[in-house]
Structure 1
Amino acid sequence: METYLVGGAVRDRLLGLPEGDRDWVVVGQTPEAMLARGFRAVGRDFPVFLHPQSNEEYALARTERKSGRGHRGFVVDADPSVTLEEDLGRRDFTINAIAQAPDGRLVDPFGGSRDLEQRVLRHVGPAFAEDPLRVLRAARFMARFAPLGFRVADETMALMRTMVASGELSELVPERVWQELSRGLASAAPSAFVRTLRDCGALAAILPEVDALYGVPQRAEFHPEVDTGVHVEMVCDMAARLAPGDAVVGFAALVHDLGKARTPAHVLPKHIGHEHAGLKPLAELCDRLKVPQAHRRLAEMACREHLNVHRLDELRNDTVHDLLARCDAFRQPARIAQLALVCEADKRGRKGHQDDAYPQGAELLRLLAAAQSVRGADVAREGLEGPKFAEVLRKARVAAIGRAREPGAGSR
């Protein structure tokens, strides 16, 4: 059976990166022949099979022909006569259109190896424009490979701009947009995801709430980078540094300042009340992209509370307690650790402040632990119920926070 290793496994091997899942292409076979060899069929839209021993994916070589709008509008041809080169020709980027034979020989009809060496993300051919999802894939690959020095080829960027101008990105289903966005935010350089979309005009189509932040000034004494869009890029990259691979933290970092786009012009560069003004556009974004609840809840907390966490030392004991309670910290304490990371990313995601200390994060967690030390069972012994129970519990926890903030309490 003529098989070739393809796609990301070959690309990452050539880049000297750890290999992920391995995918294979099979040339000259039929579905019936694959089943007869013990493979299990799993593909819904095209013939993909799982190897009977390794469980790795083996797909029949195929071509795709555009038949409608959107990323689903394709007719697939997996006839045994389809060649390996034809299969590689339907792929998105040259660096993903390299195959490796069992003897190690590379099949590289589109110059992917050269583009890997030159650190260029280049589309394979004109068929790239038939799938609007590839614009987001380009951004996602840049989020992963920008730290290695990759750039988008000029002709690929020009084609992406044409695709955006066609309006076909509106055909993308929310789940696929979110999938690419979340993977980009979990990559090493999320800012490259955002910048790539903005450079081709897709950010305004996919994330208009984020696109609106560019050009919005901030006070230079707090934000030397001034531009809010640039600040958000820096916060996203700092979040990736503090919480590698965590798209929940990454999404909150991306959207924490959405309210700054709604600041009246006569108030700029101040942003009074932007943390609450950001909740409405955040809700609109989450509804449109069907953002998972875990991501949405942390994003809401970060948007609403990041200024409070920054000035934690100035808050009264009862205000600290109520902040924790609003975040459901006593039932889901892990959220506070995530919130602390987002706030740290916000504070350090500023020009010249990348290496600043952020003691507020550890302090917030310490005060949460103090409040958690007061158990509901301690209050319940007094026979209280309902609102009276809740008020006594609150007072006890506020007192515990106060004791934790007494001089020397942190070193006891």
Structure 2
Amino acid sequence: MQIYKVGGAVRDRLLGKPVTDIDWVVVGATTEEMLAKGYRPVGADFPVFLHPKSGEEYALARTERKNGRGYGGFIFHASPDVTLEEDLIRRDLTINAMAEDDQQNLTDPYHGQQDLEARLLRHVSPAFAEDPLRVLRVARFAARYAELGFTVAPETLKLMHQLSESGELEALTPERSWKEIARALMEEQPQVFIEVLRECGALKVLMPEVDALFGVPQPEAHHPEIDTGVHTLSVLEQAARHKQPLTVRWACLLHDLGKGLTPEKEWPRHIAHEHKGLKLIKAVNERFKAPKDCQELALLVGKYHTHGHRALELKPSTLLELLQSFDVYRRPQRFEEFIAACEMDARGRKGLEQRSYPQADYLRGAATAARSIAVQPLLEKGFKGPELGEAIKGERLKALKAYKDQA
């Protein structure tokens, strides 16, 4: 039995980056031997075990053969006869197909170290094209390592393009796709993820609503970058730069989908794009079964982001409606995330990245004013039921009028 550290742990050590998760592969062992040593089995499809003390995953060396569509369409074979090189060749990228023993002696049959130095994301073998999830994985790695100068090798991009046109991407489950998308959006440069998907033709398959934004112009006075797709990438870039959470990044990606529906004859104006985009945002949310908080914020930002930008001009009644829509009294954090998404939208414009966004503090102040209304005095005056609701609303409106007058 020989045990090797494999994949990301080896890659990141060689890159000088922190190693978080460690995967191990065991060569020359049987399931019975692993169980006898106290390892606990997990996973139904192939033999993976948890170390009796550390809890880390140890997988028996295995080969795989394609026998169906999608991510799960594989037959795995694990036995003591499977070599380390045979196990490594089934991996996606050369930089993920390296192993090292407990003395840090490197096994690198597919030149991963060479590709690390060349800053290339290159597939290990033609079998790469058997797993459609790898299109998303490579785009995610491109986003993670863009700051180090990594790019996708042309021959790998070609295979990704073939996969995008094969119909295999449609076989991915929403859960698997979302897991990759969510991880990619939380990388240092999530806009690179979208760029790579677009470059290989996968974006128009997975998110045609986002793909449709490229080439759609906006008024240059408000958007010096003009192109709506370019603007969307810039907003996502700002969200990452400002360390926004996943909910905000997802909303930033989808906020302008309605502009893809504007007839060409109306360009570069996009009247009512906020309302038109809601059905598209809903469709993308449902396609990937995004978590509820991501879905809700994306819809609210899509509908109200221009309200955010015009906050200083809004009538107190409109401002109150906005606050009610977000339920700022019980869910203040969601309104904070809306403000953040609006600010990222404003900053995601060429040459305006550093411009201040006074609307943010104004909206926070409005929420504080509305929340300051106490219910108890109204109860003491005898208000109850629907009348109490109207009385509270009236007091909040007064507070917002006073706030607007002072601002």
Pair 1:319-2:318 in alignment: yes
Aligned to 1:155: 155
2:26 & 2:374 partners in 1: Cα distance? 62
2:186 & 2:44 partners in 1: Cα distance? 28
Aligned to 2:26: 26
The one-character-per-residue Cα deviations of 1:336-360 (angstroms, maximum 9, x if unpaired) are 1101111011000011111111121
1:351 & 1:327 partners in 2: Cα distance? 30
Pair 1:267-2:263 in alignment: no
Question: Could you say what secondary structure the match of 1:309 adopts?
Answer: helix
Aligned to 1:335: 334
Q: Judge which range, 362-371 or 86-95, deviates more.
A: 362-371
The one-character-per-residue Cα deviations of 1:14-73 (angstroms, maximum 9, x if unpaired) are 111111111111111111111110111112211111111111111111111111111111
Counterpart AA for 1:316: K
Q: Is the 8 A contact 1:85 1:109 kept in 2?
A: yes
Q: How does 1:47-126 map to 2 (within 5 A)?
A: 47-126=47-126
Aligned to 1:298: 297
The one-character-per-residue Cα deviations of 1:259-278 (angstroms, maximum 9, x if unpaired) are 00111222110111111111
Q: How does 1:2-401 map to 2 (within 5 A)?
A: 2-244=2-244, 246-401=245-400
Counterpart AA for 1:308: H
Aligned pairs, number = 407
The one-character-per-residue Cα deviations of 1:155-193 (angstroms, maximum 9, x if unpaired) are 000111111111111111111111111111111111111
1:363 to partner: Cα distance: 1.9
Counterpart AA for 2:397: V
Counterpart AA for 2:306: L
1:282 & 1:324 partners in 2: Cα distance? 21
1:47 & 1:233 partners in 2: Cα distance? 41
1:403 to partner: Cα distance: 2.9
Q: Judge which range, 395-404 or 137-146, deviates more.
A: 395-404
Structure 2 length normalisation: TM-score?
0.98
1:386 to partner: Cα distance: 2.3
Deviating above 6 A after TM superposition, structure 1's stretches of 4 or more consecutive aligned residues are: none
The one-character-per-residue Cα deviations of 1:91-143 (angstroms, maximum 9, x if unpaired) are 00011111111001111111111111111111011000000110011111111
Question: Could you say what secondary structure the match of 1:266 adopts?
Answer: helix
Which runs of 5 or more residues in structure 2 are unaligned?
none
Question: Could you say what secondary structure the match of 2:59 adopts?
Answer: strand
1:377 to partner: Cα distance: 3.0
Structure 1 length normalisation: TM-score?
0.97
1:287 to partner: Cα distance: 1.7
Q: Is the 8 A contact 1:243 1:341 kept in 2?
A: no
1:252 to partner: Cα distance: 0.2
Question: Could you say what secondary structure the match of 1:196 adopts?
Answer: helix
1:250 & 1:278 partners in 2: Cα distance? 17
Q: Is the 8 A contact 1:260 1:271 kept in 2?
A: yes
2:362 & 2:28 partners in 1: Cα distance? 63
Counterpart AA for 1:157: L
Counterpart AA for 1:375: A
1:241 to partner: Cα distance: 1.5
Q: Judge which range, 389-398 or 292-301, deviates more.
A: 389-398
1:60 & 1:214 partners in 2: Cα distance? 45
Counterpart AA for 2:12: D
The one-character-per-residue Cα deviations of 1:358-391 (angstroms, maximum 9, x if unpaired) are 1211221121112111133342222212221111
Counterpart AA for 2:63: T
Counterpart AA for 2:54: S
Q: Is the 8 A contact 1:242 1:341 kept in 2?
A: no
Question: Could you say what secondary structure the match of 1:405 adopts?
Answer: helix
1:121 & 1:179 partners in 2: Cα distance? 20
1:95 & 1:398 partners in 2: Cα distance? 60
Q: Is the 8 A contact 1:235 1:254 kept in 2?
A: yes
Q: Is the 8 A contact 1:243 1:249 kept in 2?
A: no
Counterpart AA for 2:201: G
Counterpart AA for 2:202: A
